[in-house]
Chain A
Amino acid sequence: MAEDHTTRTIESTVAVGGAREEERISVATQWQLTWWRFRKHKVANIAAIVLITYYVVVLFADFFAYADPNLPAAKRGLLPPQPIHLFDDDGWNPHVLAFEGSRDPETFERVYEILGDQPISVQFFAQGLEYEILGIIPWDRHLIGVSDDAGGALAQEHVSLLGTDIQGRDMWSRIVFATRISMTIGLIAVAISQILGIVIGGVSGYFGGLIDTVIQRIIEIVRSIPQIPLLMGIAAAVPKDWSIEQIYFAITILLALILWTELARVVRGRFLSLREEDFVMAAELAGASRMRIILRHMVPSFLSHIIAATTLAIPTIIISETSLSFLGLGLRPPAISWGVLLQQAQNIQTLALSPWLLLPALPVIVAILAFNFLGDGLRDAADPYGT
């Protein structure tokens, strides 16, 4: 009677739109929906590819670099970028042109004269300095190298793709190794800050009451501390015998202790609103344990937000590292990072005479933009049930 009628209504409604596409969407999980939505965000997709490239460089830095980044060469200081010519008159023949360096007797500036008739053949995937892939597998191939017929010569003696710095160290190789440091050292800080944010925010939101009030006041206090003076103080206060990496590690931890507040607030808000959701109450009434409710119902519904927040936190840390190193508070030579490289570009001489020393700014900008675009895309895609 009534049941038959209503059943038929529902079946016919669904039968009308019973196309395959509808079925596909109907059974899609949250992650599938998120993925489909993310795929539509073109800029974020490009950003993702860019970042994957970055981390490939990070993993295989030894392969991409062709020179020892810390090897000075007095005769090769401030060499300008040296383009690779892919063709000569006879066709495919990648080569660089040799040069001869001398010092200007009046200005004492090093000047280089290109010797157009002395091409040095360049090879891709060539043999060169020996290294270990990921620190385990020994290998000696590099992206760029000098041809075998150059008689066992090393690339670092002939090629300077992006020029050299004042001590004659190869900029390309230095940027590659700086990428490794700059793109990874902040991740620890991000991890710490995210874990702190999730746990403290979760406790604050889940338990509420006095605990919540106290935590929120602490967050307000932490957020009101000015960062740069604090970091300068810390940099000055660390023991003298600490290594550069130890000092920097201490600073990233400190950054993490400041950065967790933002995520903690977001997580708290999500917990507060989720606690009131009917489906959470339904699970509780069904007899689900507290653990199950938190892990199966509450966390999944903001996990995607955490991923997006993390993606957006990484560039903050990278920028912090770069600016701290630039100010001389973060990493210092002989460590190599983007900030350290940019420190060399701090003077007018660089701008006027050797602008290629500013090149490390480029990977910083691209990486930050890529992370931000990716984070935007993830955030938009993260809630497929939103608007």
Chain B
Amino acid sequence: MTVEGPNGHPLLEVKRLKKNFPIRKGFMRREVGAVRAVDDVSFHIDRGETLSLVGESGCGKTTTARCILRAIDPTDGQILFRPTEDTVFDVAQSTRRELRRLRRDMQMIFQDPFSSLNPRFPLLEIVGEPLLVNGMRSGRERQERVEELLRLVGMRPEYMRRFPHAFSGGQRQRIGIARALALNPRLVVADEPVSALDVSVQAQILNLLLELQQKLGLTYLFVAHDLSVVKHLSDRVAVMYVGRLVEMTDRERLFNSPRHPYTEALLSSVPEPDPRRRSQRIVLEGEVANPAAPPSGCYFHPRCRYAQDVCRTDTPVWEEVAEGHWVACHRGKELELAGVRDRLPMNTAAGNSTNPATNVTPAA
């Protein structure tokens, strides 16, 4: 189990979050339907832990992440954020003014290191912008802080007069991280921070994120579509499918004994470092369901190889099948599903999650 905060309040609590994107048609832009990008999602993140949000493209991970930061407005639900133990804000209901203050405590790392840095600003201004707009008027003070931040992410402070075009993808991502850390946030939402990078650079950035977490006591919500990336830095993992959570538990249990067929399929696609151990790969048939017109019952049933009649008619309940192990599957309790351990013992001993430097080896 994960360590809870001193008096049991998690840093972030998401309750029944929903986000619909209306589909409009015609001259008057009448609403003819809605894409349910995020559909009734609940989870929490404790202080200092890393929760990974995993799923295929288009399943609503990024939308969830952006709702939490209120980069987009959620349709319904609560997002309870506790920057300190005894203050609580509902981000979903906050005014613009409150948000400005709240965002000092929650920041984002973007997926695309190219579009996330304004090409017209030098590093000093990119990293210094959060400082400037939050009241650090003195240029000298700001410069010192930017120097400190750049050093923190492994960049030379001398580069701060340079523009983003002078840097590689990995370096740019470091700049993005420095910007996110400028205001000493408590929660950092990382939206697929390494998926746009070369595999060799991915490991560097993941290590950097882990180091920073230890140094600064950060809490991460880590969005990824790739379980092999998630394996090395999460405490808990939540799996999402078509706007809903299907399984959430701590890392070891998810990798070793998944309870949802979708998780099993995702796990089977994690690359195998050992060529002698050829495993059976579960290839999911068909496309991810269309969130504008999802299938009946369990959204996953058309692609599920364990599907029964009940799966086609009834929506599965999001329930705790074991302590801290949540699953939404009609057969969650009975199925014996294959985790990673059936193929290969995890090379990290359980609980040794804080020393990933040895096992972040690119699978290439």
Q: Which of A106-114, A274-282, A330-338 contacts B (4 or more CB under 8 A)?
A: A274-282
Check B29 against A210 for contact (C-beta < 8 Å): yes
Chain A residue contacts of B134, Cβ below 8 A: 286-287
Overall SS of chain A's interface: helix
Chain B residue contacts of A1, Cβ below 8 A: 357
Question: In the complex, what distance in Å separates the CA atom of A26 from the CA atom of B162?
Answer: 5
Query: Given known contacts A6-B204, A27-B161, is B154 in contact with A297 (CB within 8 Å)?
Result: no
Kindly state whether residue B307 has any CB partner on chain A within 8 Å.
no
Check A3 against B208 for contact (C-beta < 8 Å): yes
Kindly state whether residue A133 has any CB partner on chain B within 8 Å.
no
Kindly state whether residue B32 has any CB partner on chain A within 8 Å.
no
- A13, A286, A301 — which one has the most chain B CB atoms within 10 A of its CB? A286
Chain B residue contacts of A13, Cβ below 8 A: 168
Chain B residue contacts of A5, Cβ below 8 A: 204
**8 Å CB interface, B93-119 against A:** 100, 103-104, 107-108, 110-112, 115-119
Question: In the complex, what distance in Å separates the CA atom of A88 from the CA atom of B162?
Answer: 63
Check B357 against A285 for contact (C-beta < 8 Å): no
Chain A residue contacts of B170, Cβ below 8 A: 10
Check B204 against A279 for contact (C-beta < 8 Å): no
- B120, B155, B182 — which one has the most chain A CB atoms within 10 A of its CB? B120
**8 Å CB interface, A23-54 against B:** 25-30
Chain A residue contacts of B107, Cβ below 8 A: 285
Check B168 against A282 for contact (C-beta < 8 Å): no
Q: Which of B116, B133, B183 is the one whose CB lies under 8 Å from A288?
A: B133
Residue in chain B with minimal CB distance to A1: B357
In the assembled complex, the CB of A3 is this many whole angstroms from the nearest CB of chain B, namely: 6
In the assembled complex, the CB of A303 is this many whole angstroms from the nearest CB of chain B, namely: 10
Check B155 against A29 for contact (C-beta < 8 Å): no
**8 Å CB interface, B125-179 against A:** 129-130, 133-134, 154-156, 159, 161-163, 165-166, 168, 170-171, 174, 176, 179
Kindly state whether residue B306 has any CB partner on chain A within 8 Å.
no
Chain A residue contacts of B357, Cβ below 8 A: 1-2
Q: Annotate B335-364 by CB proximity to A: 1 below 8 A, 0 otherwise.
A: 000000000000000000000010000000
Q: Which of A9, A25, A283, A285 is the one whose CB lies under 8 Å from B166?
A: A25
Check A286 against B103 for contact (C-beta < 8 Å): yes
Kindly state whether residue B211 has any CB partner on chain A within 8 Å.
yes
Q: Which of A14, A26, A282, A301 is the one whose CB lies under 8 Å from B116?
A: A282
In the assembled complex, the CB of A1 is this many whole angstroms from the nearest CB of chain B, namely: 6
Kindly state whether residue B207 has any CB partner on chain A within 8 Å.
yes
Query: Given known contacts A10-B154, A26-B163, A278-B115, is B204 in contact with A286 (CB within 8 Å)?
Result: no
Check B71 against A284 for contact (C-beta < 8 Å): yes
Check B163 against A286 for contact (C-beta < 8 Å): no
Kindly state whether residue A85 has any CB partner on chain B within 8 Å.
no
Kindly state whether residue B190 has any CB partner on chain A within 8 Å.
no
Question: In the complex, what distance in Å separates the CA atom of A283 from the CA atom of B131?
Answer: 11
In the assembled complex, the CB of B343 is this many whole angstroms from the nearest CB of chain A, namely: 28
Query: Given known contacts A6-B154, A10-B171, is B163 in contact with A278 (CB within 8 Å)?
Result: no
Chain A residue contacts of B119, Cβ below 8 A: 30, 301, 385
Number of A-B contacts (CB under 8 A): 105
Kindly state whether residue A292 has any CB partner on chain B within 8 Å.
yes
Chain A residue contacts of B133, Cβ below 8 A: 286-289, 292
Kindly state whether residue A11 has any CB partner on chain B within 8 Å.
yes
Chain B residue contacts of A301, Cβ below 8 A: 118-120
Check A282 against B112 for contact (C-beta < 8 Å): no
Kindly state whether residue A243 has any CB partner on chain B within 8 Å.
no
Check A6 against B129 for contact (C-beta < 8 Å): no
Chain A residue contacts of B117, Cβ below 8 A: 279, 282
Chain B residue contacts of A10, Cβ below 8 A: 154-156, 170-171, 174
In the assembled complex, the CB of B179 is this many whole angstroms from the nearest CB of chain A, namely: 7
Chain B residue contacts of A7, Cβ below 8 A: 154
Question: In the complex, what distance in Å separates the CA atom of A7 from the CA atom of B150?
Answer: 11
Q: Which of B104, B163, B207 is the one whose CB lies under 8 Å from A2?
A: B207
Question: In the complex, what distance in Å separates the CA atom of A261 from the CA atom of B108?
Answer: 38
Question: In the complex, what distance in Å separates the CA atom of A301 from the CA atom of B120?
Answer: 8
Query: Given known contacts A6-B204, A277-B115, A287-B104, is B71 in contact with A26 (CB within 8 Å)?
Result: no
Chain B residue contacts of A229, Cβ below 8 A: none
Question: In the complex, what distance in Å separates the CA atom of A7 from the CA atom of B157?
Answer: 12
Kindly state whether residue B69 has any CB partner on chain A within 8 Å.
yes
In the assembled complex, the CB of B120 is this many whole angstroms from the nearest CB of chain A, namely: 5
In the assembled complex, the CB of B200 is this many whole angstroms from the nearest CB of chain A, namely: 9
Question: In the complex, what distance in Å separates the CA atom of A287 from the CA atom of B120?
Answer: 19
In the assembled complex, the CB of B202 is this many whole angstroms from the nearest CB of chain A, namely: 12
Check A288 against B129 for contact (C-beta < 8 Å): yes
Kindly state whether residue B122 has any CB partner on chain A within 8 Å.
yes
Chain A residue contacts of B100, Cβ below 8 A: 287
Q: Which of B110, B116, B156, B211 is the one whose CB lies under 8 Å from A3?
A: B211
Chain B residue contacts of A281, Cβ below 8 A: 71, 108, 110
Kindly state whether residue A209 has any CB partner on chain B within 8 Å.
yes
Kindly state whether residue A355 has any CB partner on chain B within 8 Å.
no
Check A6 against B163 for contact (C-beta < 8 Å): no
- A11, A13, A209, A283 — which one has the most chain B CB atoms within 10 A of its CB? A283
Chain B residue contacts of A288, Cβ below 8 A: 129, 133
In the assembled complex, the CB of A186 is this many whole angstroms from the nearest CB of chain B, namely: 31
Q: A14-B156, A286-B103 are in contact. List 6 more A-B contacts (CB 8 A).
A: A2-B207, A10-B170, A26-B163, A27-B161, A286-B134, A288-B133
Q: Which residues of B are at the interface with A, using a C-beta cutoff of 8 A? A: 27-29, 69, 71, 100, 103-104, 107-108, 110-112, 115-120, 122, 129-130, 133-134, 154-156, 159, 161-163, 165-166, 168, 170-171, 174, 176, 179, 182-183, 204, 207-208, 211, 357
Complex A-B: 8 CB contacts under 8 Å = A3-B211, A10-B154, A27-B122, A279-B115, A281-B71, A283-B129, A286-B133, A300-B120
